Amino acid sequence: MPIDNSYIYKMLPVDNRKIAPVALAVSLALAVGTASAADMPPGDIADLSLEQLENIVITSVSRQEERLANAAASIFIISASDIRRSGVRSIPEALRLAPNLQVSRVDARNYAITPRGFNSPFENKLLVMIDGRSVYSPLFSGVFWDAQDVVMEDIERIEVISGPGATIWGVNAVNGVINVITRSSKDTQDGLATISGGKNDRDGTVRYGGKLGGAGHYRAYARTVEVDDTYTAGGVNTQTGFRRRQAGFRADWDLAQGGLTVSGDAYQGALGQAGTKDIKISGANLLSRWTRKLSDESDLRLQLILDHTERNQPNAFIERLDTIELEAQHGARLGDSHNIAWGAGYRFSRDQITNTQSGFLPAHKDLHWANIFAQDEISLRDDLRLTLGMKVEHNTYTGAEYLPGVRLGWSLDPTQLLWANVARTVRAPSRIDRDFYAPVVPVMIGGVPRYIVGGGPDFQSEVANVAELGYRIQPSPQVSFSATAYYAQYDRLRTLEPNTANLPNTGLQEFRNLGDGHVRGIEMWGRWQPVDSWRLNAGFVVQSVRSGLKPGSKDATGSNGLATNDPPRHWLLRSSHDLNAQTQFDWTLRYTGALPNPHVPAYYELDMQWMWKPTPNVDVALIGQNLLHASHPEFGALPGRSMFERSAQLKLTWRF
């Protein structure tokens, strides 16, 4: 296939090395494989200079992503380029790019996000980490999405694992694990300023990176976000808009055989809440991680995390939470067939609540978690790997929990993997399951002091037993496909039961574990890159989520642990297209099936981004969100639920 040389050299900026010769790279990459050495055209990739090589944009999936995707688990990687090209400006919006997640926006600042069902704004079966730091709240085992932020441009990738991850990550990783991984400061050695604004939200970021002595690098950033209130279908303001400011840094040092990373963030925000003053949030965290490759056969990782958060929620509670977490992990290869990882961790949180009418008793509580885990990946044959794992995690409420898992991966050939997994996972009680009281001072009922809701003195861990079967194929670098079928049985789900024993200082109702359920489904996604300048991604999930009450339950609301408001299916189709070396055009079409209770109609929506690089250091992006309808709801009951409007944004990015 001959190459049109004039075309190539027109595209080749000889003295402006900053302009990426995308189109050149594309035609080269596709042509080189077929050109024979004898009649090598002068436009071969081998004739490019070092400077030209370093400006070729790699649009295909990186090797690292490919290797991660070869794990015997249902894992989807959201890449930095997906994030940049889609125009998303927050972590929850970025998570919409993962086909194995169901993301529903609840109002201006709240989201309901889950893989594999049980969605609610208080979703409690998903572990979310930012650079390995867990951001779940021990108050309710969920995530306050309105307090989490990262500079989008500094994200290297987001790993989204649907399915149990407890054997490695512990309790809470019941339905899935999300890890937002930021880039090494070595890779962010320039200045960056972004500003974006539109009808409903505005944000701005400044980041600068530099060197620290011989082998160290750093970056520091500051960021501010403002999101307007949303409105209901009837035009009522939900008063859930917010403002948040955040600043932080990351430093990385190259050490012999390893590295040291220290990072920290501090934030402050005011979140709207209907009928009260704003919720005030603030917090700071510090992470340090030390890694060392002791030899080809063994490596070591130590991690220390300090975290402080405050949340002053008028008419509800004020929480001050201080956490320290220490983790050590060692990997070792024994002989030719055993790959062992083992480790231990300890986490301590001091939770201090100031209650109003209802709240948490005792108001101050110390929480301890300690764990040890071991995993052995055994190569049974060249093409067959068996992974046995076990984690034992001790928590303040229920003591030791056992989290075993078995995985089998069979490489049918170098392009195909068939895998299976069975695991037991638990969700250990959080404070809301055991310590929630309403009101916090007992009232006299029939001459006996009682609470209306009196915590959950007997509440035990919720349990899930999960089986998965997966298949993955990559017949060529341009095509990949993954499918996973799963079945999970849930037991001891949370219910709110009447307490008929008329004892003093107990609740009329208590949390207990009289719910159960089962979930089955298939999730699949694929990628097709027909030409280097155009990529298509598609994902599809079909699922059945059922939960119910066990005999003996008198739960009156069914809304305490059983609120499974999940669509029967959701899918997305995403196109990433390089129109030319300076212009990229991306769109994502998504569909979410109807939610049963409270009912939310099914919807299609379309997001788009058109990005133009007038100079190598400047990006201008025009972003359109929810373009198909004037407005649509995603979660919650009428008449109070928020409607999300069609909107347009302009984003400017300047690198210096």
Partner 1 sequence: MTTATLSHNKLAAPAMPGWLVLVFAVLLAGFGLSCLAGGAQPALPGVPTLERSVKAAYLSKFLGYVDFAETAASAPLNVGVLAADDIAAELTRITAGRPVNGRPVQVRRLRDGEPLDGLEMVFIGADASRPVQALRNAAEKSVLSVTEMDNGLQQGAVINFRLVDDRVRFEVSLPAAEKGRLRLSSRLLSVAYHIQKDKP
Binding to partner 1 (CB under 8 A) within 460-519 occurs at: 475-478
Nearest alpha-carbon partner for 102 in 631, 619, 653, 567: 567
Give 237's DSSP letter: B
Residue 398 found at the interface with partner 1 (CB under 8 A): no
Query: Whose Cβ is closer to partner 1: residue 51's or residue 366's?
Result: 51
Residue pair 221/151 in contact by the 8 Å Cβ criterion: yes
Provide the mask over 234-273, with x wherever binding to partner 1 is found by CB under 8 A and - wherever it is not: -------------------xxxxxxx--------------
Residue 575 found at the interface with partner 1 (CB under 8 A): yes
Query: Whose Cβ is closer to partner 1: residue 442's or residue 558's?
Result: 558
Provide the mask over 124-163, with x wherever binding to partner 1 is found by CB under 8 A and - wherever it is not: ----------------------------------------
Residue pair 361/381 in contact by the 8 Å Cβ criterion: no
- Which residues, numbered 23-42, are part of the site for partner 1 (CB under 8 A)? 23, 25-34, 37-38, 40
Distance separating alpha carbons of residues 210 and 605, to the nearest angstrom: 41
Q: What's the one-letter identity of residue 10?
A: K
Q: What's the one-letter identity of residue 613?
A: K
Residues touching partner 1, count (CB under 8 A): 100
User: What sign for the dihedral angle of Cα 231, 237, 238, 241?
Assistant: positive
Given the rule CB under 8 A, which of 87-95, 304-312, 552-560, 638-646 is the region that contacts partner 1?
552-560
Residue 16 found at the interface with partner 1 (CB under 8 A): no
Indicate which single residue of 470, 593, 633, 636 sits in contact with partner 1 (rule: CB under 8 A): 593
Indicate which single residue of 146, 435, 510, 566 sits in contact with partner 1 (rule: CB under 8 A): 566
- Which residues, numbered 166-205, are part of the site for partner 1 (CB under 8 A)? 184, 186-187, 189
Indicate which single residue of 5, 315, 580, 615 sits in contact with partner 1 (rule: CB under 8 A): 580
Residue pair 158/77 in contact by the 8 Å Cβ criterion: yes
> Dihedral angle at the C-alpha atoms of 477, 479, 485, 486, nearest 10 degrees?
50
Residue pair 384/409 in contact by the 8 Å Cβ criterion: yes
Indicate which single residue of 51, 366, 383, 458 sits in contact with partner 1 (rule: CB under 8 A): 51
- Which residues, numbered 280-319, are part of the site for partner 1 (CB under 8 A)? 291, 293, 295-296
Query: Whose Cβ is closer to partner 1: residue 449's or residue 475's?
Result: 475
Task: Tell me if residue 432 falls in helix, strand or coil.
Answer: helix
Indicate which single residue of 210, 404, 548, 616 sits in contact with partner 1 (rule: CB under 8 A): 548
Query: Whose Cβ is closer to partner 1: residue 201's or residue 619's?
Result: 619
- Which residues, numbered 72-111, are part of the site for partner 1 (CB under 8 A)? 80-81
Query: Whose Cβ is closer to partner 1: residue 119's or residue 349's?
Result: 119
Q: Which helix (H) or strand (E) holds 28?
A: helix 22-32
Indicate which single residue of 110, 134, 358, 529 sits in contact with partner 1 (rule: CB under 8 A): 529
Kindly state the tokens that stand for 88: 């998303």
Query: Whose Cβ is closer to partner 1: residue 306's or residue 485's?
Result: 485
Q: Is 563 exposed, middle or buried (0-12, 13-18, 19+ CB in 10 A)?
A: buried
Query: Whose Cβ is closer to partner 1: residue 88's or residue 271's?
Result: 88
Provide the mask over 341-360, with x wherever binding to partner 1 is found by CB under 8 A and - wherever it is not: --------------------
- Determine if residue 12 is left, alpha or beta; phi over 0 gives left, psi from -120 to 50 gives alpha, anything else beta: beta
Query: Whose Cβ is closer to partner 1: residue 203's or residue 532's?
Result: 532
Residue pair 40/28 in contact by the 8 Å Cβ criterion: no
Given the rule CB under 8 A, which of 219-227, 341-349, 529-537, 634-642 is the region that contacts partner 1?
529-537
Angle at alpha carbon of residue 574, lines to 534 and 526, rounded to 5°: 85
Angle at alpha carbon of residue 646, lines to 643 and 647, rounded to 5°: 120
Task: Tell me if residue 85 falls in helix, strand or coil.
Answer: helix
Query: Whose Cβ is closer to partner 1: residue 258's or residue 442's?
Result: 258
User: Cβ 583 to partner 1, closest distance in Å?
Assistant: 12
User: Cβ 497 to partner 1, closest distance in Å?
Assistant: 13
Q: What's the one-letter identity of residue 389?
A: G
Indicate which single residue of 547, 588, 626, 642 sits in contact with partner 1 (rule: CB under 8 A): 547
- Which residues, numbered 406-435, are part of the site for partner 1 (CB under 8 A)? none
Residues in CB range of 615: below 8 A, 6 or more apart: none
Query: Whose Cβ is closer to partner 1: residue 390's or residue 579's?
Result: 579
Residue pair 160/180 in contact by the 8 Å Cβ criterion: no
Residue written as tokens 């959080």? 430
The dihedrals phi and psi of 147, each to the nearest 5 degrees, come to -115, 5
| Terminal alpha carbon distance of the chain | 40
User: What sign for the dihedral angle of Cα 117, 120, 125, 129?
Assistant: positive
Query: Whose Cβ is closer to partner 1: residue 368's or residue 554's?
Result: 554
Distance separating alpha carbons of residues 605 and 83, to the nearest angstrom: 18
User: Cβ 270 to partner 1, closest distance in Å?
Assistant: 34
Residue 565 found at the interface with partner 1 (CB under 8 A): yes
User: Cβ 289 to partner 1, closest distance in Å?
Assistant: 13
User: Cβ 633 to partner 1, closest distance in Å?
Assistant: 14
Beta strand residue intervals within 550-602, DSSP E = 569-580, 583-592, 595-596, 599-600
The dihedrals phi and psi of 26, each to the nearest 5 degrees, come to -65, -50
Indicate which single residue of 19, 589, 622, 627 sits in contact with partner 1 (rule: CB under 8 A): 589
User: What sign for the dihedral angle of Cα 556, 558, 559, 562?
Assistant: positive
Query: Whose Cβ is closer to partner 1: residue 505's or residue 544's?
Result: 544
Query: Whose Cβ is closer to partner 1: residue 381's or residue 599's?
Result: 599
Given the rule CB under 8 A, which of 222-230, 240-248, 459-467, 557-565 is the region that contacts partner 1?
557-565
User: Cβ 21 to partner 1, closest distance in Å?
Assistant: 11
Query: Whose Cβ is closer to partner 1: residue 370's or residue 485's?
Result: 485
Residue 5 found at the interface with partner 1 (CB under 8 A): no
Angle at alpha carbon of residue 163, lines to 484 and 127, rounded to 5°: 150
Indicate which single residue of 309, 564, 588, 626 sits in contact with partner 1 (rule: CB under 8 A): 564
Distance separating alpha carbons of residues 603 and 623, to the nearest angstrom: 20
Query: Whose Cβ is closer to partner 1: residue 154's or residue 203's?
Result: 154
Given the rule CB under 8 A, which of 54-62, 86-94, 347-355, 615-623 is the region that contacts partner 1?
54-62
Beta strand residue intervals within 455-505, DSSP E = 462-476, 479-498
Residue 215 found at the interface with partner 1 (CB under 8 A): yes
Distance separating alpha carbons of residues 468 and 487, to the nearest angstrom: 6
- Which residues, numbered 594-653, are part of the site for partner 1 (CB under 8 A)? 594, 596-597, 599, 601-602, 604, 628
